[in-house]
Chain A
Amino acid sequence: MTEADCILDLKAGSHKREAAADALFRQYQGLIKHALKKHKLTEDEAFDAYSDTILAVVKQVGAGDFNEKSKLSTYLQTIFFRRCVDQVRKKSTNPVMLTEIPDMKDGSRNAEEQAVNHDELKALKAYMQSLSENCRKILMLRYYWGYEDMDEIAKKLGLKNANTAGSLRHRCMKQLMTIIQKSQQRER
């Protein structure tokens, strides 16, 4: 897949974004081995850094926040370098020189932010876990992968038709919002 096609598909949403994300993941997998050697990360750490990188790229490009002035591969490798440094910093007492890290925003949380917001992330995950499997699937398709055609969602989930998918989407989103509301009320 060319970079131009990848960018177009990530922006397009739905099955194109899913396929482009998977293609991107497979295309640069060699970076994991590179991280094992260069940054002395474990395989799990290198995989985490790499998969977080791909997710960050998918998010930025999908949201239209990638300015396309640099090549997608350069952008991806820069984010990956930052992620590897994050992993090293997590387990090191010596701070990594910040001047070594190129200043390129990728919109995703770095390791420190993730550590501080661990409880918040845990809560966010728990909300979705309270929903049925079909609810989780339809919400992820609609709001993460950008599926907008209810017909397409209905076919993917084996639902009767687009109307059924639309109703389910509304019902599941309301359910999720209600779960969050009740949880926040309990905390007060």
Chain B
Amino acid sequence: MESWDQFIDMADAYTSSTMGEKEVAAFEKDISKDGKWESAWTLYQEAKASIEVEAEAHVKARWNREYMASQEPKVRNMAPLVWLAAAVIVVLAAVVFWQIGKKPSTPEALYALHTENIQLSLGQRGTLDSELRFAKANALLNAEQYRESIPILQELLDDTSFTRLDFARLHMGISYLQTEQNQQAEQMFSQIHTESAFRYDAMWYQALLALKQNKTIPAKLHLETLQTESKTYSTRAAELLDALE
């Protein structure tokens, strides 16, 4: 053998048993007696072991993605309904807080309507600035402008006079979720207090987030808790759990 390329070709032929008898004898002599090719043979075997480890990891990862996808076809089909449910919650929350009588079509119109209402109850709710920001954030959320709502919600969280922190965290989490910022969404939902009135809303979205990321096990844990503890989400959680089985 004179070159590494030749060695590799011969090693390949040797390991696949496609060599003739004389060639086998010559090769075995080289890899047992010749220091250089003896080391090369050891390195060749190590290289093949390394390739096998990498290839198996690669295949396992691909099969895992396929398996997880195959376990959730009903969840995928239900996704539009789940997001519709989320949108309904956002709309209902806006109605409760601003008593919306009409549905403006643009964020600016919504913002204007909310500031009009807010001035009447300023004394009860907090500073004008924080209420204006809250109104603007909700207007953006209603218009599904989630990315734009995030900095406004962050300002609210940073505002020491604003008291409805968990509500802002919930909606910030939803906005992060809608804009594919999953890690930030999880952080927001996790910050909602365990005694908060929004704890089950947060848990519901954490379950959806986990499903979105194909993390079936944490999703099921959240859904099982919701099924037993939350009147609002009990039925939907049960439906999702059935779909996941």
Interface residues of A (CB under 8 A from B): 21-22, 25, 29, 32, 42-44, 47-48, 51-52, 54-55, 59, 121, 124-125, 127-129, 136, 139-140, 143-145, 170, 173-174, 176-177, 180-181
Instruction: Please report the C-alpha to C-alpha distance between residue A22 and residue B67 in the assembled complex, in whole angstroms.
Output: 11
Instruction: Please report the C-alpha to C-alpha distance between residue A25 and residue B65 in the assembled complex, in whole angstroms.
Output: 13
Once A25-B63, A32-B67 are accepted as A-B contacts, the answer to whether A125 and B53 lie under 8 Å apart by CB is: yes
Q: Is B59 touching A124 in the complex (CB atoms < 8 A)? A: no
Q: Of B51, B60, B63, B70, which is in contact with the most chain A CB atoms at under 10 Å from its CB?
A: B51
Give chain B residues whose Cβ lies under 8 Å from the Cβ of A144: 51-52, 55-56
Give chain B residues whose Cβ lies under 8 Å from the Cβ of A48: 60
Instruction: List 11 A-B pairs, Cβ < 8 Å.
Output: A42-B217, A124-B49, A124-B54, A127-B47, A139-B47, A140-B55, A143-B55, A144-B52, A177-B40, A177-B47, A180-B50
Instruction: Please report the C-alpha to C-alpha distance between residue A100 and residue B57 in the assembled complex, in whole angstroms.
Output: 29
Q: Is B47 touching A140 in the complex (CB atoms < 8 A)? A: no
A133 → chain B, closest Cβ, in Å?
A: 11
A59 → chain B, closest Cβ, in Å?
A: 8
Instruction: Please report the C-alpha to C-alpha distance between residue A51 and residue B60 in the assembled complex, in whole angstroms.
Output: 6
Interface residues of B (CB under 8 A from A): 4-5, 8, 39-40, 43-44, 46-60, 63-64, 66-67, 70, 216-217
What total of A-B pairs shows CB separation below 8 Å?
82
Q: Is B51 touching A47 in the complex (CB atoms < 8 A)? A: no
A53 → chain B, closest Cβ, in Å?
A: 11
Once A51-B60, A177-B44 are accepted as A-B contacts, the answer to whether A136 and B54 lie under 8 Å apart by CB is: yes
Q: Which residue of A lies closest to B217 (CB)?
A: A43
Extra inter-chain contacts (15) besides given A139-B47, A143-B51, A173-B47, CB under 8 Å: A21-B59, A32-B67, A43-B216, A47-B67, A48-B60, A51-B59, A55-B56, A55-B59, A127-B50, A128-B54, A140-B55, A143-B55, A144-B52, A177-B44, A180-B46
Q: Is A51 touching B64 in the complex (CB atoms < 8 A)? A: yes
Instruction: Please report the C-alpha to C-alpha distance between residue A180 and residue B56 in the assembled complex, in whole angstroms.
Output: 19
B194 → chain A, closest Cβ, in Å?
A: 25
Once A25-B63, A47-B64 are accepted as A-B contacts, the answer to whether A176 and B57 lie under 8 Å apart by CB is: no
Q: Is A170 touching B67 in the complex (CB atoms < 8 A)? A: no
Instruction: Please report the C-alpha to C-alpha distance between residue A47 and residue B217 in the assembled complex, in whole angstroms.
Output: 13
Q: Is A176 touching B59 in the complex (CB atoms < 8 A)? A: no
Q: Is B63 touching A176 in the complex (CB atoms < 8 A)? A: no
Give chain A residues whose Cβ lies under 8 Å from the Cβ of B52: 59, 143-144
Q: Is B67 touching A124 in the complex (CB atoms < 8 A)? A: no
Give chain A residues whose Cβ lies under 8 Å from the Cβ of B47: 127, 139, 173, 176-177, 180
Give chain B residues whose Cβ lies under 8 Å from the Cβ of A54: 63
Q: Is A51 touching B63 in the complex (CB atoms < 8 A)? A: yes
A56 → chain B, closest Cβ, in Å?
A: 10
A11 → chain B, closest Cβ, in Å?
A: 12
Give chain A residues whose Cβ lies under 8 Å from the Cβ of B8: 170, 173-174
